[in-house]
Amino acid sequence: MRGLWAQMGIMPLERAGLEARVDHRSLEDQRAAALERGEELVAMTLDRDPEIGKLGPAANAMERKARRMAEHNGTDYTPVTQRGAQVHGVRQQRSLMADLLSGMVQARNIYMAAREADASRLSAATEAARALFSFRGRGHDFAASFSRAYQGEGGRAAAGLGR
């Protein structure tokens, strides 16, 4: 049934010309497939907690109201329900991992381009490291955002997420 649902979800995305895809497999299975394809960086982003599917109508309404108020006041959104905090924490972590992956791919591409241009290994690595360490995810300080999202014991979000 999950496979059929995924197939139905893919068609509208393709018609709209979007690259996003629906995958019915568990994160573990997707990660294993990425490793088999040799896509270690993609596999890293799949090593995360799954997102909680539903908030429920009451919690969803409360979170939407809090998000609108934060936007109106020009402040950061802070979840108002425990379930909302869990969903928000997982989404933040997923977003930050995607930003980190993007920075790592950019650094790898810079290294490869420098090596192809006959730069020494050290020079190419220096350029790649400079790009990676100056990387700012989505227009804000990546390191600070990463620290906020991954607070708490064992690197889990403070929202009470456990593995």
The residue count for the chain: 163
**Which pTM value belongs to this model?**
0.58
pLDDT at residue 15 greater than cutoff 90: no
pLDDT at residue 151 greater than cutoff 90: no
Which string of b and e fits 45-68 if b means at least 16 CB within 10 Å? bbeebeeeeebeeebeebbeebbe
Question: How confident is residue 147, by pLDDT bands cut at 50, 70 and 90?
Answer: low
Distance separating alpha carbons of residues 49 and 91, to the nearest angstrom:
10
Per-residue pLDDT of 59-107, as tens digits, reads 889 999 999 999 999 998 999 998 888 888 888 888 887 888 888 888 9
Number of C-alpha atoms within 13 angstroms, CB side, residue 103? 20
pLDDT at residue 138 greater than cutoff 70: no
Angle of helix 82-116 versus helix 121-133 axis, rounded to 10: 150
The reported pLDDT for the residue numbered 146 is 58
Distance separating alpha carbons of residues 72 and 62, to the nearest angstrom:
15
Q: Give the percent of the chain with pLDDT over 70.
A: 82
Distance separating alpha carbons of residues 65 and 83, to the nearest angstrom:
15
CB atoms within 10 A of CB 142: 19
- Residue-range domain boundaries for the chain: 22-51
Helix (H, G, I), strand (E, B) or coil at 130: helix
Instruction: Judge whether 63 and 84 are in contact, CB under 8 Å.
Output: yes
